[in-house]
Structure 1
Amino acid sequence: MAWRNLGRNRVRTALATLGIVIGVVAIASLGIAGVALQQQATTDLGSLANEVTVRSGADSDTDGVTDEQVEAIRSVVADAPVVPEKTNSTTLSSRDGEETFVSVTGVTNADALYTVSAGDSPERLRSGALLTNGTARRLGIELGDPVTYDGRLYRVQGIIESEDGFGGGNELVVPISALDEQEHYDSVTIVAANGDEAQEIVSSLESRFNEGDEEELAITNFAGVQENVNSFFNTLNLALLGIGAISLVVASVAILNVMLMSTIERRGEIGVLRAVGIRRGEVLRMILAEAAFLGVIGGVVGAAASLGTGLVIFEVLAGDPTLVFEWASLRYLGYGFGFAVAASVLSGLYPAWKAANDLPVEALRG
């Protein structure tokens, strides 16, 4: 009976359902967009959150990190790779004479810091060089081509992915022996397994090198920044849910109107049902079932539309539309559907109560 009653005025029912669909899409799509933005930010900060950078502190006696300090760092860190670095800058030239300014980094364990899109990033960089792919394209340099730094020739044996944290910009990576004229290291990078381990390393190094207000070594890590970013996006998602919920509240008012109009139009019919023995509870359940049907239909259609929208959002922001099927995103489809059904049933309570408590004699009189 509830299903049949909804079909009596299809236009009104369709408009009420459309309001539910819009509300569900607003809640689910905004939530999914927040997850996609959070995932993109986490990915961008992921490599930096796992890395601890050590430089000479404000109270250090040396302009740089010494060999003794590097060995002390290794004794504190134990398992994580410790990569000392020396830096400089130079100008590289292409075959046609075009010049590009690049930063120069001297390391030994290149594999710990750099991911290459072509060639090799060796565990011990001895004679070759690595170059960021943007610089290589700009200068027309390919694997095996020579580059010159400080009068010495190096063959390019790896092209660095420019989107990586340590591969961004214009960078030339050479063996650390190429910068032997620099007595101390400019920095030391420690590559932890995850952000939690990185923060533990920071605490251990602070205890070992920096006592009280003295700063022998400046120790930095971005894990705390990532936590702040996640906290921000969690708050943002709640705000977006609140904005989307407003649409469902508006849709609930439309359902309330539909249910009231329906019960008024069928007042005589409901009076006949009551007169032949239909109980109040059965009338109440029938009206609530109609409201629930509206919520379920609108929730299902809205969730399907939101899933399609989520595929597009993740394709644009993350480059992988299948990420929408992870729980972090799918839960917002559940939130939207659940909110739709709950809002619809609540909107039907008053019309159902009014119809169930209308006296049969008065209902039959119209």
Structure 2
Amino acid sequence: MKKPDIIFQLSMRSVRLNLLRSVLAALGIVIGVVAIASIGMISANMTLSVTEELSATANVLVVSPDSGGGGGMFGPGGGSSSDDDDEDDYISDDQFDDIRKAAGSSYVYYLYSESDRIETGDSSGRTTIYAMDDEAMKEVLTLTEGSFPSTTSQVVIGPDMVERYGIEVGSKITIGDEDDDEGETTVRVTGILEERGMSMDISSDNAIITTEKFFTGRYGGEDEYAQVNVIVDDIDEIDAVSESIDETLNKKDDEVRVQDSSRMLETISSTLGTITTFALAIAGISLLVAAVSIFNVMMMSVTERIREIGILRSIGTQKGEILRMFVYEAGIIGIVGAGIGAVLSLVIGYVVVFGMVGTTEYFFAWGSLVNVPEGMIIGAVICIISGVYPAWRASKLDPIEALRAE
């Protein structure tokens, strides 16, 4: 019963006698565990954050023109259609009526969209200009400050615009460029919108929302909508409403595309999964380096302790016990390195997640924290596997030859 304890104590003694070498070997495991766990947590937090944001619009269907790449959710608004194929570049007013009939009791509204240059104070850039009718604007959007536009010279803006350009209620924004055909137009901000986060119906956080009259007067394309959004009353009916719209408008030709947040979520999750896999493969290189380092440490340990092994074998220590002694040594290095790596993963991961995702709301969720024990297990297992061959080699040494070693 005492032999396993003695074997373990001998392993601990070897680690202590070669502390610096053991620490350097464990450092590779620490780095590998931190890399794998942190990348996993970043991916999990991004996925959970996107899922939560899209869940808020899970009952929304987005209908966009099926133009083979034109239009779409973030495509151009009215006035951008081709002369050869006008019907493919926007949703017409007749199509909007068909969508509204097919959607039944669901709330349906249209959306104009255009990208344009803006200037305010000393700052300038490009942003999305949205427009909808007054009723839809008040129904769909929520203000945190100010009021909705009442004239064509008034607009409301998203919260990101406030942060990016230092705009506030009452500020003036110049839209357009004097060299463009539309020229420049100055509008006044009357309201700041509530943050919506990632959403597929309307990305208003970094956009300007104008009246329909202002938009069509500047960009043209009256009754030519970039997209139509359908807010379904009962989320359980969303598939039925989607099929109804598809059957009504795409009976003969594919006129529109009907999308919901689940499809967008699948696309985002797939993209994040690919990026995460690639990043984890890179992180795995650090564990490969750690494995080589531990293999080298264990081989050096066997070489330096040949005489000790010979003495142990001569007093009756079995081959299996010699093998176990070196496996224990590799395991100690791996477990200590994985433990330190786990602690550092929580600290570093928290900072990195906050920096990249912008929130740590989901950091302590199981889907995020599970990456820490997974990283520990991978690091410890790789460490032990790296010590198996040196341990096997030590157990196979001839005791007589080992005692003769200098």
TM-score higher than 0.5: yes
**8 Å CA contact retained: 1:56, 1:64:** no
Residues 113-152 of structure 1 mapped to structure 2, 5 A cutoff? 113-118=140-145, 131-133=156-158, 134=161, 138=167, 140-141=169-170
CA deviation after TM superposition for structure 1 residue 46, in Å: 6.3
Residue number in structure 2 paired with 1:64: 93
CA deviation after TM superposition for structure 1 residue 340, in Å: 1.0
Please give the alpha-carbon distance, in whole angstroms, between the structure 2 residues aligned to 1:278 and 1:248. Answer: 33
AA matched with 2:344: A
AA matched with 1:207: E
Residue number in structure 2 paired with 1:213: 253
Taking structure 2 as the reference length, what is the TM-score of the superposition?
0.67
Residues 349-364 of structure 1 mapped to structure 2, 5 A cutoff? 349-364=388-403
Residue number in structure 1 paired with 2:35: 26
Residues 313-324 of structure 1 mapped to structure 2, 5 A cutoff? 313-324=352-363
**8 Å CA contact retained: 1:20, 1:302:** yes
1:294 matched to 2:323: no
**8 Å CA contact retained: 2:310, 2:402:** yes
Match of 2:371 among 332, 336, 339: 332
Please give the alpha-carbon distance, in whole angstroms, between the structure 2 residues aligned to 1:282 and 1:200. Answer: 68
Please give the alpha-carbon distance, in whole angstroms, between the structure 2 residues aligned to 1:106 and 1:259. Answer: 74
Residue number in structure 2 paired with 1:249: 288
Deviation digits for residues 176-216 of structure 1 (CA, Å, limit 9, x no counterpart): xxx9xx9968454213589997565433311133213263x
Residue number in structure 2 paired with 1:12: 21
Runs of 5+ consecutive residues of structure 2 not aligned to the other structure: 1-8, 67-86, 115-119, 121-127, 172-188
AA matched with 1:290: E
CA deviation after TM superposition for structure 1 residue 297, in Å: 0.7
CA deviation after TM superposition for structure 1 residue 255, in Å: 0.7
Please give the alpha-carbon distance, in whole angstroms, between the structure 2 residues aligned to 1:271 and 1:196. Answer: 74
Please give the alpha-carbon distance, in whole angstroms, between the structure 1 residues aligned to 2:292 and 2:236. Answer: 48
Residue number in structure 1 paired with 2:109: 83
Match of 1:204 among 226, 244, 248: 244
Residue number in structure 1 paired with 2:271: 232
Please give the alpha-carbon distance, in whole angstroms, between the structure 1 residues aligned to 2:135 and 2:267. Answer: 33
**8 Å CA contact retained: 1:113, 1:166:** no
Deviates more, 1:236-245 or 1:206-215: 206-215
- Secondary structure (helix, strand or coil) at the match of 2:370 reads helix
CA deviation after TM superposition for structure 1 residue 126, in Å: 11
Please give the alpha-carbon distance, in whole angstroms, between the structure 2 residues aligned to 1:264 and 1:288. Answer: 15
Please give the alpha-carbon distance, in whole angstroms, between the structure 1 residues aligned to 2:304 and 2:234. Answer: 65
Residue identity over aligned pairs, in percent, reads 30
Residue number in structure 1 paired with 2:192: 159
- Secondary structure (helix, strand or coil) at the match of 1:52 reads strand
Deviation digits for residues 278-332 of structure 1 (CA, Å, limit 9, x no counterpart): 2121111111011011111111111221221211122112222242222333233
* 1:324–1:214 Cα change, 3 Å: closer
* 1:312–1:196 Cα change, 3 Å: farther
Please give the alpha-carbon distance, in whole angstroms, between the structure 1 residues aligned to 2:298 and 2:233. Answer: 58
Residue number in structure 2 paired with 1:152: none
- Secondary structure (helix, strand or coil) at the match of 1:108 reads helix
AA matched with 1:202: S
Residue number in structure 1 paired with 2:103: 74
CA deviation after TM superposition for structure 1 residue 40, in Å: 5.9
Please give the alpha-carbon distance, in whole angstroms, between the structure 1 residues aligned to 2:333 and 2:264. Answer: 45
* 1:173–1:42 Cα change, 3 Å: farther
Aligned length: 337
- Secondary structure (helix, strand or coil) at the match of 2:207 reads coil
**8 Å CA contact retained: 2:95, 2:249:** no
* 1:44–1:265 Cα change, 3 Å: same
Please give the alpha-carbon distance, in whole angstroms, between the structure 2 residues aligned to 1:67 and 1:9. Answer: 77
- Secondary structure (helix, strand or coil) at the match of 1:263 reads helix
Please give the alpha-carbon distance, in whole angstroms, between the structure 2 residues aligned to 1:56 and 1:270. Answer: 77
CA deviation after TM superposition for structure 1 residue 86, in Å: 7.7
Please give the alpha-carbon distance, in whole angstroms, between the structure 1 residues aligned to 2:394 and 2:402. Answer: 9
Runs of 5+ consecutive residues of structure 1 not aligned to the other structure: 89-93, 95-100, 143-155
- Secondary structure (helix, strand or coil) at the match of 2:132 reads strand
Please give the alpha-carbon distance, in whole angstroms, between the structure 2 residues aligned to 1:196 and 1:240. Answer: 37
1:189 matched to 2:222: no
1:105 matched to 2:132: yes
* 1:246–1:137 Cα change, 3 Å: closer
* 1:114–1:3 Cα change, 3 Å: same
**8 Å CA contact retained: 1:198, 1:223:** no
CA deviation after TM superposition for structure 1 residue 138, in Å: 3.8
Deviation digits for residues 52-91 of structure 1 (CA, Å, limit 9, x no counterpart): 234688389x94147853551332xx5x533356899xxx
